Structure 1
Amino acid sequence: MRRMKLAFLFVLLVSFTGMAQEVTGTVYDDQNVPLPGASVLVKGTTTGAITDFDGNYSIEASTGDILVFSYVGFNTQEATVTGSTLDVTLQAGLELENVVVVGSRNANRTSTDSPVPVDVLDVTELVQSAPQVTVTEILNYAAPSFTSNPQTISDGTDHIAPASLRGLGPDQVLVLINGKRRHKTGLVNVNGTFGRGSVGTDMTTIPSNSISRIEILRDGAAAQYGSDAIAGVINIVLKNTVNELQVDVNTGAHFTSEHSPQKKIDGEKVSLGLNYGLPIGKEGGFINFTGNFNHRGWTNRMQEWEGSIFNSYNSIERVAAADNYDTSLLLDDDLADIFQYASAAGIALNGDETKEELQGILNADITESELLARGLQRSDFNMRVGQSKLRGAQFFANLSIPLDENLEIYGFGGLSFKNGNAGGFYRLPNQSRTYSPAYPNGFLPEINSNIVDKSAAFGIKGMIGDWNADFSNSYGKNEFMYYVTNSNNASLTNSTPFEANSGGFNYSENTTNFDMSRFYEDTMAGLNIAFGAEYRVENYAIVAGEEASYTQYNTLGNPHDPTDPESVVPTDFFGNSRPGGIQVFPGFKPDNKVNAFRNTIAGYFDVEADFTESILLSGAVRYENFSDFGGTLNFKIATRLKISENFNFRGGGQTGFRAPSLHQIYYSSTSTLFVDGIPNEVGIFPNTSRVARLLGIDPLKEETSVGATAGFTARVPSANLKFTLDGFLINIDDRVILTGQFGDNGNAELANLFQQANATQAAFFANSVDTQTKGLDFVLDHKANISDNVSLTNTLAMTVSETTVEKVKVPEAIADAGLSDTYFDPTSRIYLESAVPTTKGNLSHNLKVGDNWSFFLRNGYFGEVREATNEVDPTIDYTFGAKIVTDLTIGYNFTDSAKLTIGANNLLDVYPDENDPAFRSEGRFIYSRRSVQFGQNGRYVFGRLTFKIK
């Protein structure tokens, strides 16, 4: 009987030992200071907790469980649960040993032991120390593989800077938030910039003060995440801090006297950021809120307009207006008023009496004398060549509610408002597109954008038996609307509006995911299996503008009918037709309207096997089926070999794909594109249109890719040194680009279709080229504790990439017509190969002295780029040389709750090489507007105050 009691007691003790219990403890740094916000995770599960502001944590775990402790800037540590309390001390590390979300579905995988290259950027630290504020600015200077710069005179692209990885297209990188797919923008880039013809993700809608870290997977991952992940994946991890209000106030401006003729200070920036988190329950639940309000002023780097402004007819208008005469009457066939005011203006008509004869005389350029007579200067006719004006507000939230130790509800989302203002080409008084009776001195039309971005994601995750399960739904929508001001519809003459709603577009994604994973700790040295499914619905819509924004009217004020011989378009004095539509951005017509949907269903299987402590092999396969073009099967395989404790080899290969966006399939519009200062009305017709078929454009299909990476990671602990080197190769077939501009080639049906669209030329989206991208990524990290109170962190990072067009796939009908160079012109080649730096790097130093002082110094290297042009002149140097841009900041902590940071981006006021005079468009563009290295704004000086209230 006694033995039975002992046996029963033993079984009872074992049972209680295996049961979950509340484990509490404190996480310290190596200076014995509690670490708030440290991550605590039960290894192999999704159960986790965050330390409070005293470094304390509480988590449900069983005896024998392994807890994984991690914190930004410290080495990750594991500890086995042996009781109800467990304190740990984390050592400052050489790297960010975070458990990464991107690139692996193994919940225990860190960036160091990943078989693929993953950069982890501590955005919380960068927001405090670096001059940059927005997500794209931070990444552009901190991650050499990433490129994004503000564009100028490029319509909607002025308001959303295209972003890319490894020099590939903005639509070949996938953006995630907390591991969930982020929707793309409604804008398709169709003007003359890098990324022309592509659709990217607007990361500026995400406030940087809502972000904890950003993970950049520098490897193709379509087999893991689906369409778009050809160049890599950017995963944005939101903050989960609680019980602290952080307030960030930023202000600054560009102080640059040499290159800013109108103002020595411009591009003013002001932002106010707020972040606060509340704990929910006692199991580590939270809700974290972020609000951000910002303003950015425009910059202008145009020097002075050098071209013609006024002709003799404008002089007659000036004299007539001074006599209170209605200058619109000068346009009728009664020439008496012309003779009268020509005489008053001192213009010799040489006895000419007919309108045709007068047109030759009055078209003479008299700019200099007329400027003097009007009291104007050439600079009064300058454009705004620089960054656009923006003001906006962003609100984000991140939520987690543990229901019990094995079940959690989570969610996140945001709402962003952005209003932009950008100038177009100045409409001069001697041009027919300027109705000079309304604008005697011409006008600078302005494109105003109203961008609304909204997103929400909710899910539930937990354990089903021994499996981690995650079911979620995420929705995102981006609306981009245009409103043109300070303009005219010249064909309406005296009835012209001066502003108009030009319409716009919106795009949305609704994605449902179900994911399962399990980690087998006792199988080999660890085995992780994951599988799941995804269903996604996309919607793209074009919204028409108001009638006056897109219509060309006849002399009776009715919409012009080109098939009616009695419908006559108004002309200027010289017989040039008055173009229709609001100048700078004619509105979308009812014919452009579209409301297109498609759905996608996908399934994947993913496995990671640690065969030994030294050998890791991972593989993934994914099938994805699109309702509009069918299915695709892709795979990925990768390995990591631990040669020694401090040296790893890693490599892999994968196939990938990118489905043509709905924008690329259905977008259509007519807009004014300036080529060498000459306006052209270019219609972009849908790939599915009759115009496309008549010209021989093939239907769109998916892009496909094959890629490989190989590299190593190494550490030298005695020198506090770590470095990685990775080579990559990406072959992409059937890349979608926007073609050059085709004429009607004398085809009557084409001519009629062009006329209906108010276009003189046509462009299309097409699968035009195969490309190859290859290069190297290098990262070196060093950390030195100089003394007890002084630490120095150094990072050298560089990406060298080269993209070449391997094959141009010209449709037979276009080749037979001798239009191959129109289909894919030299400018399009340069956009793909050399319009952004092929070499980028940065060397940064972060020095911390005691508890108060911090110093940040970074030199960014931006390699050479080439001017995007169709011209080939051996006497002209088309390249812009490499430049180094220096950032410097100094921070001082007045208290634990207040910090002041001052500094500068581009401290030495470095500018790109100036354009050859042949490309300056008569003074408009001193610097290239098509091939942008790092912008053309010059030195930016700022101050930042940060308050933390607990």
Structure 2
Amino acid sequence: MLHPVTHLRGLVLLILITLCISAVSYGQTGTVTGTITDDKKIPIPGATVRIEKTNRGVATDEQGHFSLQVSPGNHTLLISFVGFPWQRRDVTVVAGQTVTLDVVMKEERTTISELVVLGSRNKPRSQMETPVPVDVIDVRRIVSDAPQVSVNQILNYIAPSFSSGTQTVADGTDHIDPASLRGLGPDQVLVLVNGKRRYNTALVNVNGSFGRGAVGTDMNAIPTSAINRIEILRDGAAAQYGSDAIAGVINIILNSTTDRLNVNVTTGANVTSQADDNIDGQTVQTAANYGVRLGSKGGYVNFSGSYDYRNYTNRSGPWQGAIYRTYPGGLDKTDSFLVANNITRNDIRMRAGQSKLRSAQLFVNGLVPLENEAAFYFFGGIGYRNGDAAGVYRLPHDSRNVLDIYPIGFLPEIHSDIYDRSFAMGIRGQLGDWKADFSNTYGRNEFGFKVENSLNASLGKASPTRFTCGGPIFTQNTTNLDVSRRFEVLQGLDIAFGAEHRFEQYELVAGAENSYTDYGRARKIGVDANGNDILIPDPQGSVNTVFGPDGSPRAGGAQVFPGFRPENAIRATRSAISAYVDVEANFTDAFLLGGAARFENYNDFGSTLNGKLTARYKITNNTSLRASASTGFRAPSLHQRFYSSTSTLFVDGVPYEVGTFTNDSRPAQLLGIPQLKPEKSKSISAGFTSAFGKFNLTVDGYFTHIDDRIVYTDQFSGNNADTASAIDKEIYQLLSLANANRAAFFANAINSETRGVDLVLTYSTKLGAGVLRADLSGTYSYTQRVGDIKASEKLKGKENIYFSRASRIYLERSVPRDKVNLTLSYNIGKFNAFLRSVRFGSVEEATNDPAFYQTFSAKVVTDVAVGYWLTRGVKVNIGSNNVFDVYPDLVANPANTTNNQFRYTRRATQFGYNGRFLFARLELRL
């Protein structure tokens, strides 16, 4: 099998050849132009005009006008806009001529308008007609109006069952936001781009944050300027789309417009009383999109790019408690120390808030029509992100500090270099009466760690202050063949089948020697004539020789994030093959029944067979009932199988050097922790859709049971006391050799159940001379562990470590169980107004200490914005996220704030604690 890089080179070469051929092969085109209005003759900006059976289309401008270049011949155009029924229009185009097509969208609606391709491998349906719930997010409209500029935050504020938040002091997770769908984990939702599987990030979340132990997909690596819309399938879909789709599927559909340059420049900052000088978190995003026509048959290549800068925010307070102690005795000499150094307690602070980021991204999406209605398509992108996040302040008297280097202590920083590369290409067309699509998709994420403003305390004053710590790399290559056909039997029988091969590779690259080595270790080789130990310096030795002022050993490795050690380094691969069949039968115009089955075989986990049944029944033309039942499967990620490291983790405010060990390691064997096995799920859902008057309503309930759910355990420790068991002593010794005093593992520890309900209600009407649109959505999701903790006999009595209360809270209560969103928008002429309020439900503190138990109450966050078209192609927007400067509840127990640094909890994902964000946006359409 060819290496993925070899695949990529060949694909790029084929694209260049194809583009060159297309540039000289196709002749003159025709043009379809027109205006889209409602039945009151009010122009509809942002409506979609698309050529049927292709991804070729445009959006109307602020006057409702569109212009679409097409090849000569007969075409069917699909016109859609949220709040109106979609329409189909046939046109005949002659080369060099222009056809005018004006369309009136009637307000007497029977369906939500947007056509949906997700959830079915057959013809698109409206949202109201799908047998499973699908949200359609018009990203172009949202980006024009709303304060949010990244994909995760856009979805967090608009999609009912989607949750995501920025993390703080969580190592690499500070730079990649984990996300949840229907209350399940980041690795239980499958992300597609243009219907093709997107690769996961290389990072596994192992620090104290939501999604602990999981591996997600970094959707923020895709610039919003590249996105047309996002479809969210809120239903188990492993039988249709494969492993990871237990919670649902997110499909990101890229832009395909041509002959228009769109540029957005957004700038803003957090203007809030909680910030230093009342302002921080300065943000600038510049995004652009432009498409070029290829030939005369509807070909195109669309380019998108963005550059983002985000400054950090800080909501920590002045350090409370002792800052400087003298030894012996550990006397508190803080006051004299502050005076001698001409500083205050406010100079000894952490950075508790969002990290600092810089990123640049470039995406492309293209299609080249071929003969006989075939088409060659391609898309992909490259991206780079540099992150800067801080750890916990090292006090001057700490044994982890060296006074000769940092006289007042130091705040170590984790810097990340994140590289993303992706490319997909394929060819689709007709094979007789069948539609066929053959594609290959490649993706790679590289996460490099560096530590700055730090030191290796075991080197003393000879220590450097910058370290290269290595990091993970994940590569995925997926090859798909999909075939489908509609048979004109009953009221339509749709059959699809296909196959997939997926290759994955996980690498962990070791850091520089000084980033992980403890130079204060030695090995005893004997005793001299005076009875003194004879020691030889040895980083793997068991004897400490370098001590801090308090008598404790000096820590080895880079402070805040020790580098990955050579024994951590790994290169592991896996391959998986699958085959599926998907059938949907319209027995009558009212009754649809569907079924899907998928067989998958992993070379490391064996085989699985999953199925899904769906049904929809139209009670009337405006009301339908729908339901589904499915099974699912998620193989442990390569990250969860092979990741190992040592890092500083804080447990209820106390730092520990925690080693993460693989399940085939000696510590795992001593503790009886078994090899990982796949998660398996069962899901059912049922709901109804209804259109009445100017309202559209969907309500869906669901239940998901997951067996053998993989979690990241709490920290086990050994014991070197004379009375300790032989196993505890060996564990202690093994941990010591890894510069760790505690150990954690990935394990199939529990079963879980999730149940909930989602509601979406939309309303649109003419109000005065403009159009008012209202969207109300809400979700309630309840996840809980069920059954006993699946601990081995050797772990009897340690179940509360294997799966602790803190782990349970991360699973059940670290994201809101309920969220309600009300969005109002009003468009009149060149003016638009936007108002949105989101109620984020309560969350709990993930802790094992009863003194720190706390529930953080629900809060309402309100966004406002107003926009105005200065000219036909220039729009300005100003507004605010969290205009009323709402914050979560403060941490109640001062002992749980790490000396007043974490005034707001970092263990729960509610809506963050950055406060009010003011923004201004300039939008150009040329």
Structure 1 residue 828: Cα displacement: 0.1
Distance 1:753 1:662, change over 3 A: same
Q: 2:903 is aligned with what amino acid?
A: I
Partner of 1:507: 474
SS at match of 2:105: coil
1:457 aligns with 2:424: yes
Partner of 1:342: none
SS at match of 2:142: helix
Say if 2:31 and 2:93, in contact at 8 Å, map to a contact too. Answer: no
1:216 aligns with 2:232: yes
Q: Take 2:76 and 2:362, find their aligned partners in 1: how far apart are those partners? A: 37
1:78 aligns with 2:92: no
Match of 1:480 among 423, 447, 466: 447
Alpha-carbon displacement from aligned partner over 1:243-289 (angstroms, at most 9, x marks no partner): 111111110000011x22x3310000011111110111122111110
Structure 1 residue 706: Cα displacement: 0.3
Q: Take 1:432 and 1:877, find their aligned partners in 2: how far apart are those partners? A: 31
Structure 1 residue 62: Cα displacement: 8.6
Partner of 1:771: 752
Partner of 2:896: 919
Partner of 1:702: 678
Q: 2:80 is aligned with what amino acid?
A: S
1:887 aligns with 2:863: yes
1:821 aligns with 2:800: yes
Q: Take 1:843 and 1:894, find their aligned partners in 2: how far apart are those partners? A: 28
Comparing 176-185 and 47-56, the one that deviates more: 47-56
Structure 1 residue 406: Cα displacement: 1.1
Structure 1 residue 687: Cα displacement: 1.6
Distance 1:481 1:660, change over 3 A: same
Structure 1, unaligned stretches of length 5 or more?
A: 1-21, 314-358
Within 5 Å, give how 1:761-800 maps onto structure 2.
761-787=742-768, 789-800=769-780
1:282 aligns with 2:296: yes
SS at match of 2:793: helix
Partner of 2:283: 269
Alpha-carbon displacement from aligned partner over 1:297-355 (angstroms, at most 9, x marks no partner): 00000111112111135xxxxxxxxxxxxxxxxxxxxxxxxxxxxxxxxxxxxxxxxxx
Within 5 Å, give how 1:352-363 maps onto structure 2.
359-360=328-329, 363=330
Distance 1:241 1:563, change over 3 A: closer
Q: Take 1:195 and 1:87, find their aligned partners in 2: how far apart are those partners? A: 50
Q: Take 1:705 and 1:683, find their aligned partners in 2: how far apart are those partners? A: 30
Distance 1:545 1:106, change over 3 A: same
Structure 1 residue 48: Cα displacement: 6.0
Alpha-carbon displacement from aligned partner over 1:156-191 (angstroms, at most 9, x marks no partner): 000011111011100000000000000000000000
What TM-score, normalized to structure 1?
0.88
Q: 1:837 is aligned with what amino acid?
A: P
Q: Take 1:430 and 1:183, find their aligned partners in 2: how far apart are those partners? A: 45
Q: Take 1:303 and 1:790, find their aligned partners in 2: how far apart are those partners? A: 48
| Number of equivalenced pairs | 868
Partner of 1:846: 825
SS at match of 1:273: strand
Say if 1:295 and 1:391, in contact at 8 Å, map to a contact too. Answer: yes
Distance 1:450 1:605, change over 3 A: same
Say if 1:638 and 1:653, in contact at 8 Å, map to a contact too. Answer: yes
Structure 1 residue 559: Cα displacement: 9.7
SS at match of 1:371: helix
Q: Take 2:112 and 2:368, find their aligned partners in 1: how far apart are those partners? A: 27
SS at match of 1:76: strand
Q: Take 2:419 and 2:536, find their aligned partners in 1: how far apart are those partners? A: 32
Match of 1:554 among 517, 520, 541: 520
Say if 2:31 and 2:70, in contact at 8 Å, map to a contact too. Answer: yes
Comparing 121-130 and 912-921, the one that deviates more: 912-921
Q: Take 2:831 and 2:673, find their aligned partners in 1: how far apart are those partners? A: 62
Match of 1:940 among 910, 913, 917: 917
Within 5 Å, give how 1:653-802 maps onto structure 2.
653-717=629-693, 720-745=694-719, 746=724, 747=727, 748-787=729-768, 789-802=769-782
Q: 1:272 is aligned with what amino acid?
A: T
Match of 1:869 among 847, 870, 882: 847
1:28 aligns with 2:35: yes
- Percent of aligned positions that are identical: 48
Q: Take 1:300 and 1:201, find their aligned partners in 2: how far apart are those partners? A: 27
Structure 1 residue 802: Cα displacement: 0.4
Structure 1 residue 23: Cα displacement: 9.5
Structure 1 residue 72: Cα displacement: 5.3
1:650 aligns with 2:617: no
Say if 1:837 and 1:864, in contact at 8 Å, map to a contact too. Answer: yes
Q: 2:698 is aligned with what amino acid?
A: T
Structure 1 residue 144: Cα displacement: 1.9
Say if 2:36 and 2:60, in contact at 8 Å, map to a contact too. Answer: no
Partner of 1:640: 616
Structure 1 residue 694: Cα displacement: 1.3
Q: 1:681 is aligned with what amino acid?
A: E
Structure 1 residue 781: Cα displacement: 0.2
Structure 1 residue 588: Cα displacement: 0.1
Say if 1:142 and 1:842, in contact at 8 Å, map to a contact too. Answer: yes
Structure 1 residue 61: Cα displacement: 9.8
Q: 1:292 is aligned with what amino acid?
A: S
SS at match of 1:191: coil
Q: Take 1:218 and 1:664, find their aligned partners in 2: how far apart are those partners? A: 26
Distance 1:563 1:688, change over 3 A: closer
Q: CA RMSD in A?
A: 2.3
Partner of 2:10: none
Within 5 Å, give how 1:199-238 maps onto structure 2.
199-238=215-254
Distance 1:793 1:194, change over 3 A: same
Q: Take 2:491 and 2:106, find their aligned partners in 1: how far apart are those partners? A: 27
1:150 aligns with 2:166: yes
Structure 1 residue 560: Cα displacement: 5.1
1:39 aligns with 2:52: no
Within 5 Å, give how 1:524-535 maps onto structure 2.
524-535=490-501
1:125 aligns with 2:141: yes
1:417 aligns with 2:384: yes
Q: 1:668 is aligned with what amino acid?
A: S
- Is the strand fraction higher in 1 or 2? 2
Match of 1:537 among 478, 491, 503: 503
Partner of 1:902: 878
Distance 1:36 1:308, change over 3 A: closer
Structure 1 residue 66: Cα displacement: 6.4
SS at match of 2:898: coil
Alpha-carbon displacement from aligned partner over 1:511-531 (angstroms, at most 9, x marks no partner): 0000000122x2111111100
Distance 1:536 1:756, change over 3 A: same
Distance 1:560 1:775, change over 3 A: farther
Distance 1:881 1:574, change over 3 A: closer
Comparing 819-828 and 398-407, the one that deviates more: 398-407
Q: 1:731 is aligned with what amino acid?
A: H
1:165 aligns with 2:181: yes
Q: Take 1:476 and 1:295, find their aligned partners in 2: how far apart are those partners? A: 24
Partner of 1:317: none
Say if 1:116 and 1:219, in contact at 8 Å, map to a contact too. Answer: yes
Distance 1:760 1:51, change over 3 A: closer
Structure 1 residue 382: Cα displacement: 0.5
Q: 2:818 is aligned with what amino acid?
A: T
SS at match of 2:331: coil
Partner of 1:354: none
Say if 1:48 and 1:59, in contact at 8 Å, map to a contact too. Answer: no
Distance 1:112 1:908, change over 3 A: same
Say if 1:38 and 1:55, in contact at 8 Å, map to a contact too. Answer: no
Say if 2:696 and 2:763, in contact at 8 Å, map to a contact too. Answer: yes
Structure 2, unaligned stretches of length 5 or more?
A: 1-28, 524-534
Q: Take 2:93 and 2:437, find their aligned partners in 1: how far apart are those partners? A: 30
What TM-score, normalized to structure 2?
0.90
Q: Take 2:93 and 2:863, find their aligned partners in 1: how far apart are those partners? A: 49
